[in-house]
Structure formats: C-alpha cells, structure tokens
Amino acid sequence: MRIFDPHIHMTSRTTDDYQRMADAGVRAVVEPAFWLGQPRTNPGSFTDYFDSIIGWEPFRASQFGIRHHATIALNPKEANDPRCRPVLDLLPRYLAKDGVVAVGEIGYDSMTPAEDEVFAAQLALALDHDLPAMVHTPHRDKARGTQRSLDVIKESGIAPERVVLDHLNEVTVAAAREAGVWTGFSIYPDTKMSPERMVAILREFGPERVLVNSAADWGKSDPLLTLHTGEALLKAGFDEDFVDRVLWRNPVEFYGQSGRLDLSDVADAGPTFAGNSILRGGS
C-alpha cells in the first residue's frame, strides 16, 4: 500500500513516527501551517516556523524516504490576534516557493469578523498565486461553520475543485460534495472520525474528490490512521485499486493542481504522477 498523507503536522512528531510511517508505506506528506498550541506574539515567530516547514522538515522527511511539501497561511485561530495580522503581508513571499502546494490551513475557528476578513484575504491570495486552498472546518458548531465556509469560498471566485474542505464528517459531507469542493476527512484515535466510519462514508459517496488524512499533531493523534483506514477498506471488500486511489492518487491529483508537486525521488510514485505532468513547472 502506498500512502500520501495530505494533512499532517510533522513538526510536532518524532523521528520514530517517521520510521513507522515509512514502514507503513507513507511516501509523501503535506504539512499545513497551523497553530502551535501556544500563542505566537510577533510575525517573526511565523517566519521561523514557515522556514522550518519548507526547509528543515522536508530534509528530516527525506531521511526516511518520505517526500514532504507544505501549505502556508495564517491559521484561523491566530487570525483573531492583532499581533499576528502582519503575517498576511509575509505570505506572498512564501507562496512563491517551490515546496508550497497550497494556501492553508485557512477557514474558521470561532467564526469571528476577524476570521471572516483573514479567510477572504487568503482565498484571494490563493487566486493571485494560482494555488489550491486547504480549508479547515471548526470542531465546534461544525455544520454552521461548514456552510459559512462554503459561502465564503463561493463568493471568492476560486474554482471549487481547487479547494479541499477538511475535517468533515457524516453531518457535513453532503453540503461539501454538493458545492463541488474536495472533501477531506481526518481520522482520529478515539473521537470524531474513525477508520470504520470512513469506510461507511466511502461506501455511500464513492472515492471521487475524497482525501483521507491523519491530521496528526501535538494532540492525541496517530500518523498511522491512514494505513488503518486502508486496511479497514480492504477488510470491508474494497479492492487495492480503490485504496490506492483514495490514499495515493487523489492527494496527488489535488495537490498536483499547484504545478509544484515533485515526487520524482519517491520510489514507485506510479504512472498517475507521470501521466498528469505534475513535475515542478509541469502544469
């Protein structure tokens, strides 16, 4: 099984995790910029973080044969802190870089006016830089947050197929599918979405425009839940091609829209990668 985890925060994981992921078949990851658990007090703190997830972290991943890309943004939670607002002015410099395959994580945390403003500004940046957008849906009041996110996405003018709406569940999946965006599902150890619930969603809706991730970070999470979802699918009778589409070809297709996905040094990246001309500069 080859696995591309399209949403994982490796900066908060250990080298043991990298080893276990490599052993499990994880060959590529995307690391979205996010909140670090503790408030940052100035934009320079973001600069160092962004440099780390496009520099040090890809190097660390490469030691285990894993290809690492990033998405860059001011996260929804810190969008509320006026000290962090100047980060918006730093973004264009980062969005021009090779290893950056989307603007993200953007979206809502508490649905405040400040979040409205920063969300819309960053969708505009995605359009300006011709990049896909990775949108987080709030963990509280998810149904309303999802609907409001879809409204803002529509208003922005970005093509829905260039947006993934993440952390969806049984309640929010239908609205996202109807809007034409990619649907992201984060699989957690014992709350929210589980491998078994993911199998049921895939059975109902099929594999099209579906991304499955571990969203592993500094909280209780597990970078192998992508593998466990693949295993649960096989056990439920889905074939290997179906699993490969969900866990590899779909994330390649979504992030390939950046024109910057470079899997040239990943063993067995497969014909989908070459066939879609997504080598750097290829799209």
Residue placing its CB nearer to Zn ion in the complex, 10 or 125: 10
Q: How far is the CB of 238 from Zn ion (least distance, A)?
A: 26
Instruction: Give me the count of residues in the chain.
Output: 283
Residue placing its CB nearer to Zn ion in the complex, 34 or 185: 34
Which string of x and - marks every residue 205-224 that binds Zn ion (by CB under 5 A)? ----------x---------
- Residue 4, helix vs strand vs coil: strand
Residue placing its CB nearer to Zn ion in the complex, 164 or 215: 215
Count the site residues for Zn ion by CB under 5 A: 2
C-alpha separations of 192 from 75, 136, 138, 251, 260 in Å: 21, 15, 12, 22, 32
Is residue 108 close enough to count as binding Zn ion by CB under 5 A? no
Q: CB-side exposure of 82: number of CA atoms within 13 Å?
A: 0
Q: How far is the CB of 275 from Zn ion (least distance, A)?
A: 30
Residue placing its CB nearer to Zn ion in the complex, 186 or 243: 186
Element of type H or E holding 163: strand 163-166
Q: How far is the CB of 236 from Zn ion (least distance, A)?
A: 27
Segment interacting with Zn ion (CB under 5 A) among 12-20, 32-40, 189-197, 199-207: 32-40
Is residue 34 close enough to count as binding Zn ion by CB under 5 A? yes
Conformational region of residue 79, where left means phi above 0, alpha means psi within -120 to 50, and beta covers everything else: alpha
Residue labelled with tokens 């979205």: 32
- Tell me how far apart the alpha carbons of residues 77 and 66 are, in angstroms, rounded to a whole number: 29
List residues near Zn ion by CB under 5 A.
34, 215
